[in-house]
């Protein structure tokens, strides 16, 4: 029997939210009175100065409070919005967060998608299949707290899909599954339904042309993913980085992340340690604490290779990931410092220029009153 607790007034709305991924993890964060007056919404797209939220009643444009900038919000986020003003009052603590080192010289982290349950790491049964690249995505997923599944497409274009599936499975026992399919066959796309359904959020990563859009279109039952891409494409270019969340035909949600060519890693040492936990454990057994695992006496890593218990190629891939992560994590700290210094210098310079010209800064909007 339902009781007359104040929570009950929200119950029916919250039930509808469950289909969008709402869970106890989020509900627990809004038990206070102030939060109860606000409206929980899932972020389905983020623009420069506003975002679009979704709840069981539909979509709504949401404004940012002064302290929140577009870079601080990710597609898939749960927020509490003021029902009157439509302003985001609180971003709820995420269950998972996918981010990357942004493309370009400045090594800034870029939020890609929040609260994703399953990451479909997509590759094709052809030359795109590359263990090092798959491991990068696996590290990313594990570090973000997302369940990884490898999806192998274009099985209709090879005689040996099973070989690819075996190789994929051998990469890690952290994989929740390896699915080989023809993305153009809707019957086979159903193999992904194990990870989809009401309340569950999935996302796809993988190289260009492996079939991500084909799969997303099959799951959403429309061309909306592709349509959204074209819409955003005001200048007629064929690439855009607009990420968006879509409802799937059989329930659940998929985050589309088009145009992700570069996936720079940063600050993912936890994910690397998890994916390569055997190597991590071995490094703890080396005689010297600062062992480089090359030719030092008492190196447990080299001993495992000699005993055929560790693939030297895998060790090399681990080394590369470790050094890339270290480099980017350090350069990001340095670049944050440099960016702040540049902003200060730029401001000082434009202030000086304005003074020299005798101009005062232009107010953005005439003030009322
Ligand atoms: N035969 C076959 N063709 C496929 C399969 N998956 C995708 N394709 C084709 O491969 C091409 C690329 O597929 P997309 O879905 O656009 O690939 P994508 O990963 O979204 O590529 P980007 O949008 O560039 O990131 C299209 O012509 C698809 O029809 C498959 O399993 N079998
Ligand atoms: Zn060693």
> Is 158 marked as a binding-site residue?
no
Whether the CB of 211 sits within 6 Å of ligand 1:
yes
Q: Are residues 30 and 112 in the same domain?
A: no
Whether the CB of 208 sits within 6 Å of ligand 1:
yes
CATH for 44? 2.40.50.140
Cα 155 to Cα 280: distance, rounded to the nearest angstrom:
35
Q: Are residues 103 and 250 in the same domain?
A: yes
- CA 100 / ligand 2 centre spacing (Å): 30
- CA 208 / ligand 1 centre spacing (Å): 8
Mean pLDDT estimate for the chain: 84
pLDDT on residue 234: 38
pLDDT for 4 beyond 50: no
Q: Is 78 a domain residue?
A: yes
* Domain closes at, from 76, 91, 106: 91
pLDDT for 366 beyond 50: no
pLDDT for 140 beyond 60: yes
Q: Are residues 57 and 106 in the same domain?
A: no
Q: Are residues 42 and 172 in the same domain?
A: no
pLDDT on residue 365: 42
Whether the CB of 183 sits within 6 Å of ligand 1:
yes
Residue in 152, 203, 208, 214 to alter for ligand 1 test, most ligand atoms within 8 A of Cβ: 214
Domain that holds residue 155: 97-256
- Lowest mean per-residue pLDDT among 8-12, 25-29, 153-157, 293-297: 8-12
Measured from the Cβ of residue 27, the count of other Cβ atoms closer than 10 Å reads: 18
pLDDT for 113 beyond 60: yes
Q: Is 155 a domain residue?
A: yes
What is the CB-side half-sphere exposure of residue 89 using CA atoms within 13 A? 15
pLDDT on residue 107: 59
Choice between 95 and 102, residue whose per-residue pLDDT is larger = 95
pLDDT for 9 beyond 90: no
Cα 41 to Cα 83: distance, rounded to the nearest angstrom:
10
> Is 125 marked as a binding-site residue?
no
What is the full DSSP assignment across 273-339?
A: HHHTHHHHHHHTTSSSTT--SSS-TT-HHHHHHHTT-S-HHHHHHHHHHHHHHHHHHHHHHHHHHHH
Report yes or no: 42 and 54 within 8 Å, Cβ to Cβ.
yes
pLDDT on residue 344: 65
* Domain closes at, from 256, 278, 298: 256
Q: Is 41 a domain residue?
A: yes
Q: Are residues 59 and 191 in the same domain?
A: no
Q: Are residues 212 and 231 in the same domain?
A: yes
pLDDT on residue 353: 65
Q: What is the mean pLDDT of residues 126-155?
A: 95
Q: What is the mean pLDDT of residues 47-67?
A: 92
Residues 191-240: tens digit of each pLDDT? 999 999 999 999 999 998 999 999 999 999 875 444 444 444 434 344 44
pLDDT on residue 328: 76
Percent of the chain residues topping a pLDDT of 70: 78
Q: Are residues 249 and 217 in the same domain?
A: yes
Whether the CB of 239 sits within 6 Å of ligand 1:
no
Q: Are residues 48 and 106 in the same domain?
A: no
The ligand 1 atom nearest the CA atom of 155: 31
Q: What is the mean pLDDT of residues 52-58?
A: 93
Whether the CB of 157 sits within 6 Å of ligand 1:
yes
User: In this structure, which residue's CA is closest to atom 2 in ligand 1?
Assistant: 154
pLDDT on residue 186: 94
Q: What is the mean pLDDT of residues 130-156?
A: 96
Residues 31-47: tens digit of each pLDDT? 898 888 999 999 999 98
- CA 298 / ligand 2 centre spacing (Å): 7
Per-residue confidence band for 145, with pLDDT thresholds at 50, 70 and 90: very high
Residues 312-365: tens digit of each pLDDT? 999 999 999 999 888 877 765 665 566 566 566 666 666 666 666 665 444 444
Q: Are residues 133 and 59 in the same domain?
A: no
pLDDT on residue 229: 41
Q: Are residues 159 and 123 in the same domain?
A: yes
Q: Is 365 a domain residue?
A: no
- Domains in the chain: how many in total? 2
CATH for 165? 3.40.50.300
* Domain closes at, from 57, 91, 125: 91
User: In this structure, which residue's CA is closest to atom 8 in ligand 1?
Assistant: 211
pLDDT for 86 beyond 70: yes
Q: Are residues 136 and 217 in the same domain?
A: yes
Within its chain, how far is the Cα of 123 from the centroid? 17
Q: Are residues 115 and 48 in the same domain?
A: no
> Is 293 marked as a binding-site residue?
yes
Whether the CB of 217 sits within 6 Å of ligand 1:
no
Q: Is 60 a domain residue?
A: yes
Q: Is 163 a domain residue?
A: yes
User: In this structure, which residue's CA is closest to atom 13 in ligand 1?
Assistant: 211
Specify the 3-state DSSP secondary structure of 17: helix
Whether the CB of 225 sits within 6 Å of ligand 1:
no
Query: Is the pTM here over 0.95, yes or no?
Result: no
pLDDT on residue 48: 84
Residues 245-275: tens digit of each pLDDT? 999 998 999 998 876 666 777 789 999 999 9
pLDDT for 2 beyond 70: no
pLDDT on residue 231: 42
Q: Is 156 a domain residue?
A: yes
């Amino acid at each position: 029997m339902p009781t007359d607790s104040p929570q009950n007034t929200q119950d029916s709305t919250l039930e509808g939210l469950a289909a969008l991924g709402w869970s106890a993890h989020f509900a627990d964060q809004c038990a206070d009175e102030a939060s109860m007056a606000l409206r929980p919404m899932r972020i389905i797209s983020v623009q420069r100065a506003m975002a679009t939220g979704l709840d069981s009643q539909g979509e709504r444009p949401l404004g940012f409070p002064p302290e929140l900038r577009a870079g601080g919000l990710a597609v898939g986020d749960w927020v509490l919005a003021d029902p009157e003003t439509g302003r985001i009052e609180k971003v709820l603590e995420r269950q998972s967060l996918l981010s990357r080192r942004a493309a370009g010289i400045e090594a800034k982290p870029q939020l890609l998608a929040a609260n994703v349950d399953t990451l479909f790491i997509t590759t094709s049964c052809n030359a795109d299949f590359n263990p090092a690249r798959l491991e990068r995505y696996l590290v990313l997923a594990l570090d973000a707290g997302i369940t990884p599944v490898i999806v192998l497409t274009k099985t209709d274009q090879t005689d040996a899909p099973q070989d690819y599936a075996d190789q994929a499975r051998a990469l890690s026992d952290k994989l929740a599954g390896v699915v080989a399919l023809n993305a153009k066959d809707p019957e086979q796309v159903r193999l992904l339904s194990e990870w989809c359904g009401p309340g569950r959020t999935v996302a796809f990563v993988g190289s260009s042309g492996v079939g991500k859009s084909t799969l997303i279109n099959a799951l959403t039952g429309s061309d909306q993913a592709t349509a959204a891409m074209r819409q955003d494409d005001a200048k007629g270019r064929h690439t855009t980085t607009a990420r968006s969340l879509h409802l799937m035909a059989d329930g659940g949600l998929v985050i589309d992340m088009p145009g992700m060519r570069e996936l720079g890693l940063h600050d993912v040492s936890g994910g690397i340690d998890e994916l390569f936990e055997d190597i991590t454990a071995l490094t703890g057994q080396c005689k010297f604490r600062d062992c480089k695992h090359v030719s030092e006496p008492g190196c447990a890593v080299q001993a495992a290779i000699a005993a055929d218990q560790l693939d030297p190629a895998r060790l090399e891939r681990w080394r590369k990931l470790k050094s890339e992560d270290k480099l980017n994590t350090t350069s990001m700290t340095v670049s944050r410092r440099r960016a702040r210094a540049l902003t200060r210098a730029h401001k000082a310079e434009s202030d000086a220029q304005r003074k020299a010209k005798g101009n005062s800064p232009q107010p953005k909007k005439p003030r009322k009153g």
